[in-house]
Structure 1
Amino acid sequence: MLDATSQAANWMGLCFNANKCAYLHNNGSRRDSVQATSFHIQGEPMISLEEGEAYQQLGKPTGFCIWQTLEDTIKEILQDATKIETSLLVPWRKINALNTFLIPRISFVLRGSAVAKVPFNKVNSIIRQLVKRWLFLPQRASNELTYIGHRQGGANVPRMGDLCDFAVITQAFCLLTCADATMKNIAANALGEVIKKRISRIRSRQDIATCFSSSLDGEFEWDGGDIASLWTHACNITRHLRKHIGCRWTWCEERQELSVLVPRIRATDHTIITPRAQGILEKSLKAAINALYVENLKKKPDQGKAFEFTSKWDARNHFLPWGSFTRFADWRFIHQAQLNCLPLNRAICHGNRDKGCRKCGYNN
């Protein structure tokens, strides 16, 4: 393959930079799986990777037996978030800058990387604190308001753990329903090996949906001692999402195709993502989890009672993306008011402080 690529590149007048090309020769059937083999591109030797070494591909470390913590990327994101905090931007512009520049960078890094959620917990905590500060909310305010979309009155800043889940589910579904037959067969065979280790028999097409969506009961209870992979992560995440939003994989015998069912909160109909509509899978999952956060906030007896009404109409939240027709005094007031977090005597939930009015002396 490398010789054919070199020949085609020579014919087109292209030249590869061998110093930027790396390879990893892995033989999984041996104890010392990494092989000392020499590969060349256009006659130039390429960089050979050893076990534990990584190659930075589009900002993501790629290699064998490495832990993709993305520490450098996380550090850069936190530095940029601090720069936005110390800038002279108005509060709503800071939120817009976060959603425009930092969140898409995180989403891009998560695609194609087996990233654990733990390293992103710190990022999520710091960003949530900053967003609450920009909304002039106390830190005791409900976290859901930072995750909810602008149309319902939130900051529209997604939770990092949710982005990790959506990236895994979307990548697995796109590989299994890819238009390229070769890529689709490679993904199906890899998933088939995972299912075979779990149920100890040749898998059927229905087993794919069952493996992803089933609870750990019956023949799918034992994991077969398999190593972690995209497919094992997708199974665990699908079970987690099914518990919270009812998401599950399905197999249609009539159309002979795999699909993902994404229920809608407080609605009778569901969104069924087919292979031809795989581009809206991530958007549908985000809408479902956003609706879940809205419902959870409405159920809170204190901070949710006003939000239940303010989230009903889009026109009421027109100012959130760009701050249109909004004064700074309004911005400092309105988010605290809708969560009942205004610094009034009656709103203080802890201690035995006087709850009387500061002006007229009314006792509550």
Structure 2
Amino acid sequence: MASLEEREVYQHLGTPTGVHVRQTPEDTIVEILRDASQINSSLLAPWQKINVLNTFLISRISFLLRGSAVARVPLNKADNTIRQLVKRWLYLSQRTSTDIIYIFHRQGGANVPQLGDLCDMAVMTHAFRLLTCPDPTVRSIAQEAVRSMVRKRITRAPSEQEIATYLSVSLEAEFGRERGDLSSLWSCACNTSRLLGKRIGCCWKWCEERRELGILVPCLKTPDHTIVTLTARAMLEKTLKDTICCLYAENLKRKPDQGKVFEVSSKWDASNHFLPRGSFTRFADWRFVHRARLHCIPLNGAIRHGNRDKHCRKCGYANKTLPHVLCGCKQHSRAWRHRHNAIPNWLVKAIPPSLGKITLDSAIPGTDSRL
């Protein structure tokens, strides 16, 4: 082992480690961004670039966040770079909503997590696992550290409920006293609880009946809530991730322009089957589909700035939007027919002949309907 002076560091699992040193692995973050730039200039398909980014680069940052006290400024700079690259791979303009980047594949997003969210989840998960650790020595040291911080804040011995209130960053009554707390894992956990509490309503809870500490994670879609306790401690990170991704999805749905199609396309996994691996998708389809879903195709009716003429150049309709081009412009009626006929033609090829006679493009047998 090397003998180190104060503020000298050595790299331990990618983290600068020493006495009175900053643990933010800025060199590692710069290296990850350099790799992201090389992925961008490679000959991989766009969906392959996103997959490589998630598999090899985001996982490296997630691993560093588990063992480091990382500052937010380098993460924010890295987030900006990664966000611009993912938008380029999705062929989206910079005015496009960034929510689509952080949403799961099954809902129609790129499934690239925001680094700030990864940092928040790592801090909350690490603090909770220390306080509920199966090892009694580790658990007692962590609980005593928190208890001493609460005792310093309220100037008396705290109860278990008061510890949960302190971790949830309550500023009411005696918890609002300013006592000059030193920066530590628990102060970071309190700040993270405050941020997540404002965003998703997350907070710490103490159950008196079961005598155990838990974290309440609200469900944004239903009035039900999830309380992660000692027995489900391994599910905390996944629960937080699901809730945060649901928050981004709900934010996008509320946007009257870009969220209109997404509200429908996010309901079924089959609508987004092509996102993870580009299955059955041409490059031309990939360049079109994301802009079309977010209403960012540069048509006359979709341009928001200036006083540009919004009439359709083909048929003279007053508002040339994407629904008009796909389903309303008479000049493209032949394309409508081909698009409609392609679906039953695919079904005819997929049905085995042994199932019986296949009827195509004719009236329904045994009825008077003309359909």
Q: Which amino acid aligns with 1:76?
A: E
2:164 is the counterpart of 1:215: no
2:240 is the counterpart of 1:285: yes
Give the gaps of 5 or more residues in structure 1.
1-20, 22-46
The CA distance in 2 between the partners of 1:187 and 1:79, in whole Å, is 38
Q: Which amino acid aligns with 1:67?
A: R
Question: Any idea what the Cα deviations from partners look like across 1:325-346, whole Å, max 9, x if unmatched?
Answer: 1111111111001111011111
2:29 is the counterpart of 1:74: yes
Which SS does the other structure have where 2:206 is aligned?
A: strand
2:239 is the counterpart of 1:246: no
2:123 is the counterpart of 1:165: no
Larger fraction in helix? 2
* Equivalent residue, structure 2, for 1:338: 293
The CA distance in 1 between the partners of 2:41 and 2:84, in whole Å, is 14
Pick the aligned partner of 1:103 from 47, 55, 58. Answer: 58
With structure 1 as the length reference, what TM-score do the two structures score? 0.85
Q: Give the C-alpha shift of residue 195 in structure 1.
A: 1.1
Q: Give the C-alpha shift of residue 299 in structure 1.
A: 0.8
* Equivalent residue, structure 2, for 1:112: 67
The CA distance in 2 between the partners of 1:203 and 1:49, in whole Å, is 39
Paired residues in the alignment total 319
The CA distance in 2 between the partners of 1:113 and 1:194, in whole Å, is 21
* Equivalent residue, structure 1, for 2:269: 314
With structure 2 as the length reference, what TM-score do the two structures score? 0.84
The CA distance in 2 between the partners of 1:210 and 1:51, in whole Å, is 37
Which SS does the other structure have where 1:344 is aligned?
A: coil
2:318 is the counterpart of 1:363: yes
Task: Determine what percentage of the aligned residue pairs are the same residue.
Answer: 64
Pick the aligned partner of 2:220 from 265, 275, 279. Answer: 265
* Equivalent residue, structure 1, for 2:9: 54
The CA distance in 1 between the partners of 2:16 and 2:233, in whole Å, is 26
* Stretch deviating more after TM superposition (299-308 or 136-145): 299-308
Q: Which amino acid aligns with 1:314?
A: D
What are the residue-to-residue correspondences of 1:74-153 with 2, within 5 Å? Answer: 74-153=29-108
The CA distance in 1 between the partners of 2:227 and 2:255, in whole Å, is 31
The CA distance in 1 between the partners of 2:185 and 2:89, in whole Å, is 37
Q: Give the C-alpha shift of residue 63 in structure 1.
A: 2.1
The CA distance in 2 between the partners of 1:87 and 1:216, in whole Å, is 51
Q: Is the 8 A contact 1:52 1:63 kept in 2?
A: yes
The CA distance in 1 between the partners of 2:14 and 2:73, in whole Å, is 19
Q: Is the 8 A contact 1:197 1:223 kept in 2?
A: no
Question: Any idea what the Cα deviations from partners look like across 1:99-125, whole Å, max 9, x if unmatched?
Answer: 111111000000121112111111100
The CA distance in 2 between the partners of 1:128 and 1:291, in whole Å, is 19
The CA distance in 1 between the partners of 2:249 and 2:42, in whole Å, is 31
Structure 1 stretches of 4+ moved >6 Å? none
Q: Which amino acid aligns with 2:238?
A: K
The CA distance in 2 between the partners of 1:218 and 1:52, in whole Å, is 40
Which SS does the other structure have where 2:11 is aligned?
A: strand
* Equivalent residue, structure 2, for 1:353: 308
Q: Is the 8 A contact 2:24 2:68 kept in 1?
A: no
Q: Which amino acid aligns with 2:115?
A: M
Which entry has the higher C-alpha Rg, 1 or 2? 2
Q: Give the C-alpha shift of residue 302 in structure 1.
A: 1.2
Q: Give the C-alpha shift of residue 223 in structure 1.
A: 4.0
* Stretch deviating more after TM superposition (114-123 or 219-228): 219-228
The CA distance in 1 between the partners of 2:205 and 2:17, in whole Å, is 32
Q: Give the C-alpha shift of residue 268 in structure 1.
A: 2.1
* Equivalent residue, structure 2, for 1:301: 256
Q: Is the 8 A contact 1:247 1:260 kept in 2?
A: yes
The CA distance in 2 between the partners of 1:230 and 1:335, in whole Å, is 41
* Equivalent residue, structure 2, for 1:224: 179
Which SS does the other structure have where 1:111 is aligned?
A: helix
Q: Give the C-alpha shift of residue 200 in structure 1.
A: 1.3
Which SS does the other structure have where 1:109 is aligned?
A: helix
Q: Which amino acid aligns with 2:255?
A: K
The CA distance in 1 between the partners of 2:59 and 2:139, in whole Å, is 27
Give the gaps of 5 or more residues in structure 2.
320-371
Q: Which amino acid aligns with 2:187?
A: T
Q: Is the 8 A contact 2:23 2:70 kept in 1?
A: yes
* Stretch deviating more after TM superposition (329-338 or 267-276): 267-276
2:170 is the counterpart of 1:203: no
Q: Is the 8 A contact 2:102 2:248 kept in 1?
A: yes
Q: Give the C-alpha shift of residue 69 in structure 1.
A: 2.4
The CA distance in 1 between the partners of 2:137 and 2:59, in whole Å, is 30
Q: Give the C-alpha shift of residue 65 in structure 1.
A: 1.8
Q: Is the 8 A contact 1:356 1:363 kept in 2?
A: yes
Q: Is the 8 A contact 1:132 1:139 kept in 2?
A: yes
Q: Is the 8 A contact 2:15 2:24 kept in 1?
A: no
